[in-house]
Amino acid sequence: MFGNLDILAPDPILGVTAAFRRDSNPGKVDLGVGVYRDELGNTPVPAAIREAEREMLAGQASKTYVGPAGNPEFNERIVALALGPQAVRLRERTAVIQTVGGCGALRLGAELVRASAPDAVIHVSDPTWANHEPLVGTSGLALRRYPYYDPATRGVAFERMLDHLGRLPAGELVLLHVCCHNPTGADLDLAQWSAVGEVLERRGLVPYLDLAYQGFGDDLETDVAGLRMLAERLPTLLLAISCSKNFGLYRERAGALAVVAENAATARAVETHQARTARRMYSMPPDHGAAIAAHVLGDERLRQAWQRELAAMVARMKALRALLAGRLAARRPDRDFSWLERHRGMFSLLGLDPAGITALREEEHVYMPPDGRINVAGVSEANVDRVADSLVRVIDRR
Ligand SMILES: Cc1ncc(COP(=O)(O)O)c(C=O)c1O
């Protein structure tokens, strides 16, 4: 039956983790993972999440099925967290389904688009998260890239991006990272979001917004200001939400797909298609993580406690960015490392070629995926000098 299947090359990101585990060097450093890490290298469950989990379980009378759309309280609260005041205004025009993490939302959204517009094209940023193209493209939709990152400035190539979007035909989709762009760390500022909103509106383009890091850039409100601007302005949008990073719920697979449609009747039709698509693929989403997130968001005390923990994670990531930039600048005062501090979230691109990435791994035991994306949460007070020395040695050789 399965004799025709060859062994596949490892996933570029998961492959790095496996190679790191095999390395017996005690000084090895993993900058490749896509998860938050504390000073000890652990990915903790926030205390507020643990407490919510205990309370949620104590009050759970049954584990009977919840239905393809998942937990209605979770759906309402998670969309309200993302859209803020816009959520109330758009409620009738919004169709929400709980999904298997943010990945499940991205895939389900693509399936919905294909059901309605099989010839639609989705434009993703160049570069984008390595899993976007497989997740969205496997639905059968055509994928193309729009210019996004300028390696020279380490910021957004905004003129080229805007010019490109300004030439796209009506009805095509533009996948945008709401904040903490993965892998570059370079985000749009508010004026740029406004200009993007204007182009999308003028050209009749549909934003497909990936929200995987709300609260990981600056805070829960600032990070979604661009998203809310688009929601105010545009008739239709898709929003894929992940609770993996900000709630620390990674393996519980909690997320949601919200579709804002032109009118309430279309939103009700979208809901039926969301449910049918889920039913055909996996029937229903897992409950546990979404029930925890719903509980946290519905309880003011737990919500405040969770927000404080989230703020501490962000403060740590910003401090690590400053620490690493400072240590690199001290070693190479002739070079500019200030971009590390300008970027938001966990990721930045190092800008090394593949040979440099290989040298870091094989000679320095410092690990990252082939695109040179580093996770600043993999840096710590304890390893920052070792990381800075390794990076400078490899940079100097190039
Ligand atoms: C840009 C981006 N989108 C979506 C996701 C989806 O995450 P999950 O499916 O774990 O919720 C991730 C996770 O790494 C991500 O980085």
157 token code pair:
């190539």
* Residue 396 confidence (pLDDT): 80
Cα within 13 Å of Cα(265), Cβ side: 0
The pTM assigned to this predicted structure is 0.97
Atom of ligand 1 nearest to the CA of 34: 14
Ligand 1 near 129 CB (within 6 A): yes
pLDDT tens readout for residues 219-268: 999 999 999 999 999 999 999 999 999 999 999 999 999 999 999 999 99
* Residue 397 confidence (pLDDT): 78
Would you name the residues annotated as active-site residues?
Answer: 129, 210, 212, 245
* Residue 264 confidence (pLDDT): 98
Nearest alpha carbon, ligand 1 atom 13: 212
CB atoms within 10 A of CB 72: 13
CA of 107 to the centre of ligand 1 (A): 11
Angstrom CA distances, 8 to 19, 135, 140, 144, 174, stand at 16, 17, 21, 24, 30
Give the chain's residues under pLDDT 50: none
Ligand 1 near 208 CB (within 6 A): no
* Residue 135 confidence (pLDDT): 94
Give ∠ CA 252-254-260 in degrees, rounded to 5. Answer: 170
CA of 291 to the centre of ligand 1 (A): 19
CA of 208 to the centre of ligand 1 (A): 14
Atom of ligand 1 nearest to the CA of 106: 4
Nearest alpha carbon, ligand 1 atom 3: 212
**To test ligand 1's pocket by mutation, which of 133, 181, 244 has the most ligand atoms within 8 angstroms of CB?**
244
Ligand 1 near 182 CB (within 6 A): yes
* Residue 193 confidence (pLDDT): 98
